[in-house]
Amino acid sequence: MLPISVDEGLTLTTLIDILVQGILLGGLYALFAAGLSLIFGVMRLVNLAHGDLIVLAAYLILVATNALGVGVVGGLAAAIPAMFAVGYLLQRLLFNRVLGKDILPPLLTSFGLSIFLQNGMLTGFSADSRRLPAGGVETLSVPIVGGLAIGVLPLLTFLAAVCVIVSMNQIFYRTALGRGFRAVSDDPVTAQLMGIDNRQMFAIAMGIAMVVCAIAAFFLGLRANFDPTIGPARLIFAFEAVIIGGLGSLWGTLAGGVILGVAQTAGAAVDPEWQLLVGHLAFLFVLVLKPRGLFPRSAD
Partner 1 sequence: MSVLAHQRFSAATGTRLSAIAGVGALALVALLAALPFFASRGLIQDLFLVFSLLALAQYWNLLAGYAGLVSVGQQAFVGLGAYALFASTMLAGLDPVLSILIAGAVAAIVAWPVALVVFRLKNAYFAVGTWVVAEVFRLVVAQIKSLGGGTGTALPKSVTNDSALISLIAHVTGSRTPAARDMAAYWLALVVVVLTMALVYALLRSKRGLALSAIRDNEGAAGSVGVNLARTKLYVYVVCAFGAGLTGALIYLQKARISPDAAFSVTDWTAFVLFIVIIGGIATIEGPIVGVLIFWLLQDQLAAFGAWYLMILGALAVCVMLFFPEGVWGALAHRYDIHLFPFRRRLVVSGGKGAT
Residues 167-206 binding partner 1 (CB under 8 A) are none
Nearer to partner 1, 116 or 173 (CB): 116
Nearer to partner 1, 58 or 236 (CB): 236
Judge whether 16 and 193 are in contact, CB under 8 Å. Answer: no
Task: Give least dist CB 22 to partner 1, A.
Answer: 19
Q: Specify the amino acid at residue 170.
A: Q
DSSP strands (E only) in the chain? 141-143, 149-151
> Using the rule CB under 8 A, which residue among 120, 133, 178, 296 binds partner 1?
120
> Using the rule CB under 8 A, which residue among 1, 10, 122, 142 binds partner 1?
122
Return d(Cα 207, Cα 100) in angstroms, integer: 20
Residues 26-55 binding partner 1 (CB under 8 A) are 45-46, 48
The CB density around residue 298, as the number of other CB atoms within 10 Å, is 15
The answer to whether residue 91 forms part of the interface with partner 1 (CB under 8 A) is no
Judge whether 31 and 219 are in contact, CB under 8 Å. Answer: yes
> Using the rule CB under 8 A, which residue among 232, 251, 294, 296 binds partner 1?
232
Task: Give least dist CB 101 to partner 1, A.
Answer: 10
The answer to whether residue 209 forms part of the interface with partner 1 (CB under 8 A) is no
Task: Give least dist CB 214 to partner 1, A.
Answer: 22
Task: Give least dist CB 38 to partner 1, A.
Answer: 15
Residues 6+ apart with CB under 8 A from 250: 34, 37, 38, 165, 168, 169
Picking from 215, 201, 177, 210, the residue whose alpha carbon sits closest to that of residue 82 is: 210
Q: What are the beta bridge partners of residue 150?
A: 142
Select from 18-26, 116-124, 140-148, 249-257 the region that touches partner 1 (CB under 8 A). 116-124
Task: Give least dist CB 8 to partner 1, A.
Answer: 22
Sign of the Cα pseudo-torsion (258, 262, 268, 271, in order): negative
Task: Give least dist CB 118 to partner 1, A.
Answer: 8
Return d(Cα 18, Cα 216) in angstroms, integer: 22
DSSP string, 237-285: HHHHHHHHH-TT-HHHHHHHHHHHHHHHHHHHHH-GGGHHHHHHHHHHH
The answer to whether residue 59 forms part of the interface with partner 1 (CB under 8 A) is no
Nearer to partner 1, 184 or 247 (CB): 247
Select from 12-20, 91-99, 160-168, 199-207 the region that touches partner 1 (CB under 8 A). 91-99
Residues that bind partner 1 (CB under 8 A): 45-46, 48, 94, 97-98, 103-109, 111-120, 122-123, 232, 235-236, 239-240, 243, 273, 276-277, 280-281, 283-284, 287-288, 291, 300
